[in-house]
Amino acid sequence: MSFFKRLAERAKKVDSLLCIGLDPHPEMLPEQTGIAAVAFCRRIIDATSELACAYKPNSAFFEALGAEGIAALRQVIDLVPDDIPVILDAKRGDIASTARAYARAAFDLLGADAITINPYLGQDAVAPFIQDPERGVFLLCKTSNPGADALQAQILNTGQPLYVHLAELAAEWSSNENLGLVVGATDAQALAAVRAAAPDMWFLAPGIGAQGGDLEAALASGLRDDGLGILITISRAIAQADDPAKRAIEFREAINQFRRKRPVPTSMLPPNLGILADALLEGGCVRFGDFTLKSGLQSPIYIDLRRLVSNPRLLARTAAAYQPLLRLLSFDRIAALPYAALPIGTALALQIGRPMVYPRKEVKDYGTKAAIEGIYNPGETVVLIDDLATTGESKFEAIENLKQAGLQVQDIVVLIDRQSGAKQALAKEGYNLQAVLTLTDLIDYWGATGAVETEKLDAVRDFLNGG
């Protein structure tokens, strides 16, 4: 039986997603011996074996006790009932014969069912651990320590954080479907992003308790649609309790209460776009009030994506949101409209490796007197990139300039469609407008999450309805 099938069966049998850590910290032991470490862990196992979905002994605390500590670790793993999976928290990371030796030590010598590993060396560091479908692996993806973001949250040229890219790679590497991810419960947004990138994978989520993670936020972001897919890891909060069984019951019940009352999403916005919507709001790119738009319309909402130039990470994330729509289109170059879409188009061109041009607002009356900046060949097809769509007027102006230069335009892609007639006006002339988000998407999402006051959102709804 594959590891994750066995894990799912255990979760259903005891109605638990609780993974209990077996971490004999030196200060918790009466003496620094293997015998004391075994006694410490035995107390926890005996008290919680009917409540745990899995156990996670931390190899480091046993290794620190020398040869007797390694023997103690093996004894602790043997103490766990056979139907409860054991995940060895060892964070190994190496390649070739060394990785194979680590795998033999964890699985054959110590008898663990799964192991945590560091994927920094790439797929060949992972392969030796996942050859046997009955053995599981949890890759470090987005860890719960404060310094993790310095590396794991770095934005790649795709616009994705490194941890999201790793999640996508892991989904490809898991040929035996025995690969999971370590995603800290301390960052619910990251959990949501990883769940969007790896919808079927199991997560090991440390950080609840001593590290301050929010249990409900972690569950809301990390649970799969089937109510499984995430192990909530608790170590010290149970180990140091006067009554470990009572404390484990409390955690299991808190997890299950959320699973039972788990709200049906009122917004169908995918997690990655929900994160983007929140970031745009937080970054001041969306404001509520009374505004006059370029089109002359009076609007209760103003969207200013020119602010993105001062927030490189948000700019990259915004550009990345265009990519799924562009993958469905055929074009030679992207053409970004001045001014707000120029930085978005530039970031997008860097991410997808496609050349960019842009039509000038005013034709130069000196030098080359160019109307279109950039290199292109007449007859090529461009996809028009803009930040917003309102009435479509600016799109028609740009299309005319591009056509006069011999370029063909069929598709326009914007981040947000304000739903003020642009799509219909463009379609009437044979052009296809696509939007990453609509204004309705945004206000429904912010309403569902409570991020914006109801009266402000109602004003936008009235505006969209012609009120």
**Coil, strand, or helix at residue 407?**
coil
Q: How far apart are CA 102 and CA 108, in angstroms?
A: 10
**Coil, strand, or helix at residue 315?**
helix
Q: How far apart are CA 429 and CA 426, in angstroms?
A: 5
For 195, phi then psi, to 5°, come to: -60, -35
Q: Which secondary-structure segment (H or E) carries 363?
A: none
Q: Which secondary-structure segment (H or E) carries 419?
A: none
Do residues 273 and 280 lie in contact, with contact meaning Cβ atoms separated by under 8 Å? no
Gyration radius of the chain over CA positions: 27
Q: Is 456 noted as a catalytic residue in this protein?
A: no
**Coil, strand, or helix at residue 436?**
strand
For 236, phi then psi, to 5°, come to: -60, -35
Name the nearest CA neighbour of 202 among 219, 175, 182, 186.
182
Do residues 413 and 363 lie in contact, with contact meaning Cβ atoms separated by under 8 Å? no
Crossing angle for the helix pair 271-282 and 188-197, to the nearest 10 degrees = 140
Query: 5, 91, 246, 261: which one is catalytic?
Result: 91
CA quadruple 251, 254, 260, 262: dihedral, nearest 10: -120
Cis peptide before 120 (omega within 30 of 0): no
Residue 292: other Cβ atoms inside 10 A: 10
Q: How far apart are CA 372 and CA 374, in angstroms?
A: 7
At residue 205, what is the residue type? A
Do residues 47 and 248 lie in contact, with contact meaning Cβ atoms separated by under 8 Å? yes
Enzyme catalytic residues = 91
